[in-house]
Amino acid sequence: MLRAVKGETVEKQVVTDVVFVDPNSIGSVDFSDISAPEGFKS
C-alpha cells in the first residue's frame, strides 16, 4: 500500500511541476538557477 501511495504522490508531483513550470512560468524562470548549456542561457 505504501509503495502505491508513494508512487502516486511522486507521479502527481512530477505532473504538477511540469504543468506549472512549462506553460506559465517559462518567461519568469531563472535559467541561471538551472544547469543548462551555456548557449541556452540568455
pLDDT per position as a tens digit, 1-42: 455 556 566 666 665 555 555 555 556 656 566 565 666 555
pLDDT of residue 1: 46
DSSP assignment of 2-31? HHHHHHHHHHHHHHHHHHIIIIISTTT--G
Dihedral sign from CA coordinates of 23, 29, 33, 35:
positive
- pTM, 2 dp: 0.16
- CA separation for the pair 18, 1 (Å, rounded): 26
Cell of 19: 504543468
Contact yes or no for 18/9 (Cβ under 8 A): no
Quote the DSSP letter at residue 34.
S
